[in-house]
Amino acid sequence: MQLNSKDFGKDFIWGVSTSAYQIEGAHTTDHKGLSIWDEFSTKKNAIANNHHGNVACNFYEHYSNDLKLMHSLGIKNFRFSISWSRILPYGRGLVNLKGIDFYNKLINECLKYDITPWVTLYHWDLPLELEKQGGWINRDIVGWFTDYVSLCVTKFGDRVKNWMVLNEPLVFTGAGYFLGIHAPGRKGLANFLAATHHVTLCQAEGARVIKNIYPNANVGTTFSCSHIEPYRLTNKDIEAARRIDVLVNRLFIEPALGLGYPFKKIPLINRIEKYMKAGDEKLLAFDFDFIGIQNYTREIVKHSFFTPFIKASLVKAEKRNVPLTAMNWEIYPEGIYHLLKMYNEYTGIKKIIITENGAAFHDELVDGKVNDSYRINFYNNYLQQVLKAKKEGVKVEGYFSWSFTDNFEWAEGYRPRFGLVYIDFETQQRVLKESAHWFKQFLEVSNKIAEMQE
């Protein structure tokens, strides 16, 4: 079945997502301070092919043309993040007016092209100077973060109405503070639990800051999530899958909803109490206007006696004879339907927006074109599942593609390409992929309806 955007209703929000470190480049330009990713990418073998984000897509210089290109495709909502160290080079204190000026110009250019800005306040690039003081494992970060949020909202909130506090807290705490495979490269359960608690505090406190300054702002936060299934229908595998589901899909949302940490569902989380102070449980809760869910795959889980803490392990997709992306993630459209249904069951969630969904493939530029029919199939199949959930009453009201352009894909470097727009990273040439033309056509119906109503 071929879809078009009118199937989702005239008020459904369509957009594309990016993040600062992955596209901006200009890593020391105009007094920008270093982030943990600037430092982490200098470590040997930390990033595939020793890539780094120093230049990336050079969005810092190309933003106007990129927005013009976005406008030409009929894309009316743009999710981007602010680089904390671009506006506060040391993480706090001294304000970099050049950084403020860049985001003012970016926001104004969005509005010039009738593109609504959706701003993520933290997308993984913590200022390096704050990491030297403990970063997310230092409780002082709650104050550092809320000061940063206050600065952003004060400077940009007159034009930005839509805010996301954090991007995927489980990923940047788990990969960066437990496994050590992302910046800043810390390892261990103690680091993870401390970071988890302080991040969850910041998730709510940051939202309160926004609402205190602009009560009518539309405030949300985003969560990575994966549909989880047991490998076998045995009690041990079913219980292992349940534990992984709690860790992956519920650890950060339930405190925000006033349900507290899921201590009873995963006993090891009890150790987080070591980092809690009196009154913290109430501070973790915030009544968000929406939550963003970000889904790329599903995970199959089996019991594993030798896996510490969680007693569960993932059965890798490449061993299961299933269709894969360039990230070796399973393509499983039904997963996004199950997740939408799952989150919709929480009574405290007012609205769900899919703030990231997409796929990386090994795209090639041939005779000036990128024929990525596999990505078109991916979007069409996933959107069918989103529509199915919506028709069944799920409160899903928006969808953002990841990503507008190819970019720096963290530890994977530049090899996986997620974009609707192909980037030649040597020349910075932009080429619309076939999926970009498909997305334009997909959006045309609802855009024409909106124009008629204006």
Annotated domain spans of the chain: 5-453
With beta carbons less than 8 A apart as the criterion, state whether 158 and 119 touch: no
With beta carbons less than 8 A apart as the criterion, state whether 69 and 418 touch: no
Return the structure tokens found at 243: 């534990």
Say whether 168 is catalytic. yes
Q: Say what the pLDDT of residue 450 is.
A: 57
Give the span between the Cα atoms of 372 and 236, in whole angstroms: 41
Taking alpha carbons only, the member of 160, 255, 144, 140 closest to residue 210 is: 160
Taking alpha carbons only, the member of 144, 191, 198, 149 closest to residue 169 is: 198
Q: Say what the pLDDT of residue 446 is.
A: 63
Taking alpha carbons only, the member of 417, 420, 335, 407 closest to residue 21 is: 407
C-alpha 149, offset from chain centre: 18
Catalytic residue among 168, 205, 229, 409: 168
Give the span between the Cα atoms of 442 and 76, in whole angstroms: 13
Say whether 356 is catalytic. yes
Taking alpha carbons only, the member of 199, 159, 160 closest to residue 177 is: 199
Q: Say what the pLDDT of residue 448 is.
A: 61
Helix (H) or strand (E) holding 428: none
Encode pLDDT of 217-230 as tens digits: 999 999 999 999 99
Q: Which residues pair with 162 in a beta bridge?
A: 118, 218
With beta carbons less than 8 A apart as the criterion, state whether 125 and 88 touch: no
With beta carbons less than 8 A apart as the criterion, state whether 144 and 89 touch: no
The mean predicted confidence, pLDDT, of the chain is 96
| All residues at 6 or more sequence positions from 166 whose CB lies less than 8 Å from its CB, including other chains | 120, 121, 122, 199, 202, 203, 206, 221, 222
Q: Say what the pLDDT of residue 309 is.
A: 84
C-alpha 396, offset from chain centre: 17
Residues in the chain with pLDDT values less than 50? none
Which phi-psi region, left, alpha or beta, contains residue 325 (left: φ > 0; alpha: ψ -120 to 50)? beta
Q: Say what the pLDDT of residue 308 is.
A: 86
Q: Does domain 5-453 have CATH number 1.10.645.10?
A: no
pTM beyond 0.95: the answer is: yes
Q: Which residues pair with 399 in a beta bridge?
A: 14, 354
Largest CA distance in the chain: 64
Catalytic residue among 24, 131, 299, 356: 356
